[in-house]
Amino acid sequence: MPSPVPFGTRLRAAMDSSGPLCVGIDPHPGLLEAWGLPNTAEGVRVFSLTVVEAMTGVAAILKPQVALYERFGSAGFAALEETLQAAKAANLLTLADAKRGDIGSTMAAYATAWLDDSSPLASDAVTLSPYLGYESLRPAIDLAAATGRGVFVLGLTSNPEGASVQHVGGDKSVAKSIIEQVSAENADAEDLGHVGLVVGATIGDAPAKLGIDLSASKAPLLTPGLGAQGATAQDIATAFASSYRQVLGTSSRDILKAGPDVNELRDKARSVRDELLAAK
């Protein structure tokens, strides 16, 4: 049986063909109401499938926020499974924003749920939290490599509380340690590795202050904060500088509020995508 195509290779191809945009699928109650949909699993299903239809050929990857499906229990997970299958049928990559993190057999079970071919929730990648120690993520990192999938590890987040953990240690910070371990993981990749990083779009000069070289990581860089949280494409290009080619500009509400019309959603996403391309 041939080896699967590495996630980094597939992601680069998607970024080259559709642009460096990640669109979050975030069916918040307020957005469902604005779209005229009920705050139910069925409303979430219709919302999500509409986003998939609109983003085909415009986004490199879609990022469903797992918590917003999970709140409806099994019916919510069924909506998520259908969304993942619809994206696969449309040749769109998917990133399950689950932020899983645990140890031992529990981490292995999370890895199976999100990254194993046999799972109905299998996505092209999943977000992970490394704060039980980077090596606690090993089952997911290794399974992702074996199946041609990826993981995105929380690295430098832009929420106000993040610095109280991630910046501790100065030039030997927790964040720097995590990012160095990701760099080692991706060392043999020709371009993008299968271990990505979540780095907030509004982190400013934090990498420079902490002595972090993101470009050396070979990590796809998921950058939440574009649009509604205040960052522009040019802000990201300036902050990430030499690592900008690794960036997946990530937008959710700013694009989703253009719905429910498919054409208006697509036009908004295309506009954001084009801004990212122009800011290179």
Which member of 99, 176, 209, 268 is catalytic?
99
Q: Active site includes 268?
A: no
Could you report the per-residue pLDDT of 28-85, keeping only the tens digit for each? 999 999 999 999 999 999 999 999 999 999 999 999 999 999 999 999 999 999 999 9
Give the number of C-alpha atoms closer than 13 A to the C-alpha of residue 39, restricted to the C-beta side.
8
Question: Tens digits of per-residue pLDDT, 177-209?
Answer: 999 999 999 999 999 999 999 999 888 888 888
Q: Tell me the C-alpha distance between 210 and 228, whole Å.
A: 27
Burial class (CB in 10 A: 0-12, 13-18, 19+), 119: middle
pTM, two decimal places: 0.96
Q: Tally Cβ neighbours within 10 Å of residue 212.
A: 25
Mapped onto helix, strand or coil, the DSSP state of residue 37 is coil
Q: What is the Cα–Cα distance from 89 to 83, expressed in whole angstroms?
A: 10
Q: What is the CATH number of domain 7-278?
A: 3.20.20.70
Name which of 278, 140, 114, 273 is nearest 196 in CA terms.
140
Q: Is the dihedral of CA 191, 193, 196, 199 positive or negative?
A: negative
Which residues are registered as beta bridge partners of 221? 197, 247
